[in-house]
C-alpha cells in the first residue's frame, strides 16, 4: 500500500507532463516524409529489418529499386520475381547481399501440371548472380522411350495428360555415367543447386525434393550501389525517384540526386528530435510501470519441481564429464572459496549472456577473473565447453584457466586476470583512427592482430585436440598489462579430432556480424576451422575501424564498407589509406585490411589458414595482392589468376 500512496499524488503530474512533451513544437526537427518513411526497416514474411533495394506492396516503391519487389501476403516465405519466374526467398543476408532462393513451382510440386511450360532457371541480364560452387541439375520430362539405363532412385513419377510417362533427374556427370541419351525426353529443365548438396541427390525423390526446396545461393548487385554508398556516407537513405525511376538520395530535409549536402543545423535538429523522443518514451515507460503497479495481482508461484529436475540432470552430465576426463590439470575449488577470493563478489568486471565476471585474488596474491555462470542459461553446456577447451590449452595468446568450482547449481571458472580488459573497449567507437586516449597506435594493433592469429593457429593445429572457437570477436580478446592479446570465452567452442577439423553442427552459433556464411547456411560449404578465420577477418576489419562510423550511417553502413575499402585499396600502394597518420602506419592499416579481406572470402576453401595469416602479417605489404572482391558484396567470380596466395 505504501507504493500506492506514494504514486497517487504524482499520477496527475506525470500525465500532464507526458502530454506537454507530446505537443512540444517540433518545427525544428521535422523530417522529409520520404526520408521518414524509408528510414525504418520493414518486415516481409519471416524476413525482418529489410531496407533498400527491397520494397513490397506495403512499402513504397521509392524506398527500393526496380527488380527487388517482394510479395509478402501469400505466406510466411516472401516471393521475388526474376525474369517472370517466381522464387521463394528462403534466407536473406542483407549485409552481405546474398539470398537463398528456390523455384516456387518446383518447390511446391516437382511434377507441375503445365510441364511443357517449365522454363530453365536463368539469371542473365538481372541484378542477380549465382554464387560460385553451384551445379545445374537436369530434370527430364515426357521421355518417349523407356529410360532403362536410369536407376530407379532417380526416376520421377510424373503423368502427362493422365498418362504415366518416364521422367528423371540427373547431373551432367551422371548422364555420361549412365550413357543415357537426353534426346529421348522432350523437355529438359536446368535447376541450379549448391555443389555441397549434390551428394544428397542419391537419396531418392524425398531427398531430391528437399534439395529443390532448400534452394541455391545468389548475390545481388545493381548499378546504383556505388551511388548508394556515397548517399549513405553523406547521411542519407537510398531510394528511387518514382517519376524518373532513377536513383535518389533521401535526406532529412528533401531528396537529392546523389548525396545530402552538408548543411548547418542538421546535427542540432537531429539531437533535438532524439531528446524529445527519448523523454517521451521515458515518460511513457513511467506510465506503464504505474499502470502495472495499480493492476498488479499476485500470481501463485510456479512449482519448482521441473526446474530442480533440470538442474539435477545437468549436474549428472557435469559429474559424468569430470569422471570421464579424469583429474584435470586445474584445481577444483569449493564455492565458499570462490566467495572468499572475490570478497563476496564485490568487484564486478562485466556481465555476459551466461553470467557475470568478478575480480578476485588467490591465496598466493595472484589476481584472477572469476566467471560465475548462470545455471538457467545454456543448460550447463557452456560450462562443459569452457572447461573441456580451456583445460587443454597452454599458449601465450590463450587465456589461462586456473581453476573451477561446481557445487549443485553453482559453477564458476577462474582465469588469470587481464588488467587492460577486452579489445572491444579500444575499438568500440568503430573509429580508432581518431585521436583518442583509447587508441593504442597502429603498431600495437598490428601486434595484437598477429598475437590473436597465433592463438587461433594453436587452437586449430597446436593442441592435442583441435578446437574451433566459434565466437571470435573483440569482446572475447583480453589484453594483459603489456597489451598481449589472449583469446577467451570458449562457451561455444567445439572439439575436433579429425585432421581437417570438419565440425558437425545442428544449429548456428556465434555473434551476428562475425558468423561465417557456412555456419548459418550449409549451402556455402562445411563448417570447419575456416569459420574461425572468417570471424577473425571481420574482427581485423573492426580493428581497422571503418565498419560503422567511418562509412557515415548507423543502420546501413555495413553493406557499403567493403566497397569503400576496395576503393581505397585500388587507389594504389603509394596512396595514403587514411590522411592523418604516418606512411608507416598507413602501410600497417593497408596490410591489416588486405589480411581481413582475404579471411572473409565466402567459400571456406578460399580463405587462408591461420598459419598463412601469420605469414601475411609478418611479411611486407608489397608481397600481398589485393584480395578478390568479396562476391557476396560485389558478385563477380574471381578469376584463377587472382589467387596468388597459397591457402594451405
Of the pLDDT bands very low, low, confident and very high (cuts 50, 70, 90), residue 8 is very low
Is 0.85 topped by the overall pTM?
A: no
Binding residues, by number, are: 371
H or E element at residue 316: helix 305-324
Contact 404, 413 (CB under 8 A): yes
* Alpha-carbon gap, residue 356 to 327, rounded angstroms: 27
Active-site annotation, residues? 471
Q: Quick one: pLDDT at residue 556? A: 43
> 410-416 and 367-373: which strand pairing?
antiparallel
Count the neighbouring beta carbons within 10 Å of the beta carbon of residue 16.
10
- 258 three-state secondary structure: coil
Q: Quick one: pLDDT at residue 298? A: 42
Range scoring the smallest mean pLDDT among 82-91, 150-159, 355-364, 407-416: 150-159
The CATH architecture that domain 305-416 belongs to is 2-Layer Sandwich (3.30)
Condensed to tens digits (0 to 9), the pLDDT of residues 118-173 reads 788 888 888 898 887 788 888 888 776 666 677 777 888 776 566 666 788 888 77
Q: Is the pLDDT score of 615 beyond 90?
A: yes
The grid cell for 320 is: 559424468
Q: What is the DSSP letter of 11?
A: H
Interacting residues of 555 by C-beta distance below 8 A, sequence separation 6+: 39, 41, 51
**Domain 424-642 is in which class?**
mainly alpha
Range scoring the smallest mean pLDDT among 143-147, 269-273, 350-354, 396-400: 269-273
What's the mean pLDDT in 5-23? 46
Q: Is the pLDDT score of 264 beyond 50?
A: no
β-pair partners for 188:
140
Q: Quick one: pLDDT at residue 24? A: 45
Q: Quick one: pLDDT at residue 614? A: 96
H or E element at residue 283: helix 266-295
Backbone angles phi, psi at 282, to 5 degrees: -60, -45
Q: Quick one: pLDDT at residue 367? A: 95
Bond preceding residue 222 cis, omega within 30 of 0: no
Q: Is the pLDDT score of 198 beyond 90?
A: no
Condensed to tens digits (0 to 9), the pLDDT of residues 330-375 reads 788 999 999 999 999 999 998 876 789 999 999 889 999 999 987 6
Q: Is the pLDDT score of 249 beyond 70?
A: yes
Condensed to tens digits (0 to 9), the pLDDT of residues 180-191 reads 677 777 788 888
Of the pLDDT bands very low, low, confident and very high (cuts 50, 70, 90), residue 68 is very high
Condensed to tens digits (0 to 9), the pLDDT of residues 17-57 reads 444 444 444 444 567 888 988 988 888 988 888 889 999 98
* Alpha-carbon gap, residue 510 to 502, rounded angstroms: 17
Binding residues for ATP, by number, are: 371
Contact 234, 220 (CB under 8 A): no
Amino acid at each position: 500500500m505504501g507504493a500506492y500512496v506514494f504514486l497517487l499524488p504524482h499520477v496527475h503530474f506525470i500525465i500532464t507532463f507526458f502530454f506537454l512533451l507530446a505537443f512540444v513544437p517540433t518545427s525544428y526537427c521535422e523530417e522529409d516524409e520520404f526520408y521518414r518513411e524509408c528510414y525504418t526497416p520493414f518486415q516481409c514474411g519471416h524476413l525482418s529489418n529489410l531496407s533498400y533495394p527491397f520494397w513490397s506492396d506495403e512499402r513504397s516503391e521509392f524506398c527500393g529499386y526496380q527488380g527487388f519487389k517482394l510479395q509478402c501476403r501469400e505466406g510466411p516465405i516472401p516471393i521475388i520475381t526474376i525474369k517472370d519466374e517466381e522464387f521463394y526467398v528462403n534466407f536473406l543476408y542483407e549485409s552481405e547481399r546474398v539470398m537463398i532462393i528456390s523455384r516456387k513451382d518446383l518447390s511446391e510440386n516437382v511434377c507441375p501440371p503445365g510441364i511443357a511450360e517449365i522454363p530453365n532457371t536463368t539469371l542473365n541480364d538481372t541484378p542477380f548472380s549465382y554464387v560460385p560452387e553451384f551445379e545445374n541439375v537436369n530434370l527430364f520430362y515426357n521421355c518417349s522411350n523407356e529410360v532403362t539405363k536410369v536407376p530407379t532412385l532417380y526416376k520421377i513419377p510424373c503423368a502427362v495428360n493422365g498418362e504415366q510417362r518416364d521422367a528423371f533427374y540427373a547431373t551432367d556427370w551422371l548422364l555420361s555415367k549412365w550413357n543415357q541419351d537426353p534426346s529421348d525426353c522432350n523437355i529438359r529443365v536446368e535447376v541450379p543447386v549448391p555443389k555441397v548438396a549434390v551428394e544428397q541427390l542419391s537419396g531418392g525423390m524425398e531427398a531430391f525434393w528437399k534439395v529443390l526446396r532448400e534452394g541455391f545461393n545468389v548475390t545481388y548487385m545493381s548499378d546504383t550501389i556505388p551511388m548508394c554508398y556515397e548517399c549513405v556516407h553523406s547521411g542519407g537513405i537510398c531510394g528511387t525517384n518514382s517519376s524518373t525511376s532513377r536513383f535518389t538520395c533521401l535526406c532529412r530535409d528533401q531528396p537529392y540526386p546523389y548525396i545530402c549536402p552538408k548543411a548547418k543545423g542538421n546535427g542540432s535538429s537531429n539531437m533535438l528530435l532524439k531528446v524529445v523522443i527519448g523523454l517521451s518514451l521515458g515518460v511513457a515507460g513511467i506510465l506503464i510501470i504505474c499502470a502495472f503497479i495499480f493492476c498488479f495481482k499476485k500470481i501463485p508461484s510456479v512449482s519448482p519441481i521441473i526446474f530442480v529436475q533440470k538442474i539435477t540432470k545437468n549436474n549428472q552430465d557435469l559429474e559424468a564429464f569430470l569422471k570421464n576426463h579424469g583429474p584435470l590439470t586445474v584445481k577444483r575449488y569449493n564455492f565458499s572459496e570462490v566467495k572468499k577470493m572475490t570478497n563476496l563478489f564485490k568487484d564486478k568486471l562485466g556481465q555476459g549472456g551466461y553470467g557475470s565476471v568478478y575480480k578476485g585474488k588467490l591465496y598466493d596474491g595472484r589476481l584472477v577473473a572469476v566467471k560465475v555462470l548462470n545455471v538457467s542459461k545454456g543448460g550447463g553446456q557452456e560450462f562443459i565447453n569452457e572447461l573441456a577447451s580451456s583445460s587443454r590449452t597452454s599458449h601465450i595468446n590463450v587465456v589461462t584457466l586456473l581453476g573451477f568450482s561446481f557445487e549443485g547449481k553453482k559453477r564458476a571458472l577462474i582465469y588469470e586476470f587481464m588488467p587492460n580488459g577486452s579489445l572491444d573497449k579500444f575499438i568500440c567507437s568503430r573509429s580508432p583512427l581518431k585521436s583518442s586516449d583509447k587508441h593504442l597506435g597502429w603498431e600495437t594493433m598490428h601486434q595484437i592482430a598477429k598475437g590473436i592469429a597465433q592463438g587461433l593457429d594453436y587452437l586449430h593445429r597446436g593442441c592435442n585436440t583441435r578446437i574451433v572457437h566459434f565466437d571470435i570477436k573483440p569482446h572475447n580478446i583480453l589484453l594483459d598489462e603489456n597489451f598481449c592479446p589472449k583469446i577467451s570465452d570458449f562457451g561455444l567452442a567445439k572439439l575436433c579430432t579429425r585432421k581437417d577439423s570438419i565440425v558437425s553442427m545442428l544449429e548456428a552459433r556465434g555473434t551476428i556480424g562475425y558468423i561465417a556464411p557456412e555456419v548459418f547456411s550449409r549451402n556455402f560449404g562445411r563448417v570447419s576451422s575456416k569459420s574461425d578465420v572468417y570471424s577473425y577477418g571481420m574482427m581485423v576489419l573492426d580493428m581497422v575501424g571503418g565498419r560503422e562510423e567511418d562509412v557515415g550511417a548507423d543502420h546501413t553502413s555495413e553493406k557499403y564498407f567493403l566497397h569503400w575499402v576496395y576503393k581505397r585499396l585500388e587507389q594504389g600502394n603509394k596512396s595514403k589509406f587514411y590522411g592523418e597518420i604516418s606512411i608507416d602506419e598507413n602501410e600497417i592499416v593497408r596490410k591489416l585490411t588486405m589480411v581481413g579481406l582475404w579471411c572473409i572470402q565466402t567459400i571456406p576453401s578460399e580463405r587462408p589458414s591461420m598459419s598463412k595469416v601469420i605469414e601475411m602479417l609478418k611479411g611486407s605489404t608489397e608481397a600481398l595482392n589485393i584480395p578478390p572482391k568479396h562476391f557476396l558484396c560485389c558478385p563477380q567470380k574471381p578469376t584463377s589468376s587472382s589467387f596468388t596466395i597459397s591457402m594451405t
